[in-house]
Structure 1
Amino acid sequence: MNLMSMLIFSFILALALFIINLFMPNKPDINKLSPYECGFDPFADARTPMSIQFFLVAILFILFDLEIALLLPIPWSMNTNPPNMTMSMTTALLVLLTLGLAYEWSQGGLEWAE
C-alpha cells in the first residue's frame, strides 16, 4: 500500500466515524453526568476552580521531565556527531531552560503564598 492510498483510507475512515457519531443518539443519564471519584460519592463540586500555581508547577514538571528525555540520547550523539556540536546544542538547551526557570522564578510563579 503506498502513502497516497493510506492517506485516502485514513481520511475516509475518520470521516465515516465522524458521520456515525453525528447520528448516534445522545442519552445522558445521572451516571454519565456525575463525576467519578474511584466509586465514592464526590466530596465537593467537580467544577470548582483550581489554583493557577498548581498548573504552573505541573507545566514546569512536564517541561523538565521532557528535558531529561531530550538529554538522554547525548552519549549516543557524541559518537555520531562532532563533540563540539553536541556539547553546544546541549549547552544551548540547558541555558534556554535555565533562563525560563529564572524568569518564572522572578515573576513569582513558584510562590505558593502571595
Structure 2
Amino acid sequence: MNLILILTFIMIIISNTFMMISFFISKKSFLDREKCSPFECGFDPKSLARIPFSLHFFLITVIFLIFDVEIVLILPMIPMFLMINFISWFKINFFFIIILLVGLYHEWNQNMLNWVN
C-alpha cells in the first residue's frame, strides 16, 4: 500500500514539474485579441449577433456525425467475426447494414445530400 502511495506521489510531482516547465518556457501571448474573445470561431462577438446561418450546412454536419458514429459501431464487428457463430455474426451485420442503407435512402429521398438546391 505504501508503494502505491509513493508512486502516486512521484507521478504527481513529475507531472506538475513538467507542467510548470512548459508554462515558463512557452511563448504564449496573452494579449491576442482572438484568444481573449469569448468565441474562437472567427466571429466578431461585438458585431450583430443575428447573422445569417445556413441550416443546410448544419444538417450536413449532423449527417457527417451520424456516419462517424456508424463507422465506430462497424469497426468492432471485424474482431467479433472470430468470437461468435458465423450465422449470428451475419444476421447482426446484415440487420445493421440494412438499417444504415434505409437511413441513407431516406436522406437521399429527402434531398439532404444535395449541397446546392
Point out where structure 1 has 5 or more consecutive residues left out of the alignment.
1-33
**Paired residue for 1:42?**
44
Alignment of 1:1-114 (within 5 A): 35-37=38-40, 42=44, 45-114=48-117
User: Paired residues, what number?
Assistant: 80
State the structure with bigger RCO (CA 8 A, min sep 6), 1 or 2. 1
Q: Deviations over 1:26-57 (max 9, x none)?
A: xxxxxxxx64236x771854442422211221
TM-score (norm. length: structure 1): 0.57
Q: CA deviation at 1:79?
A: 2.0
What is the identity percentage for the equivalent residue pairs of Structure 1 and Structure 2?
A: 34
Which aligned runs of 4 or more in structure 1 are off by greater than 6 angstroms?
none
* Counterpart secondary structure, 1:79: coil
Aligned alpha-carbon RMSD (Å) = 2.5
* CA–CA separation in structure 2 for the residues paired with 1:84 and 1:71: 17
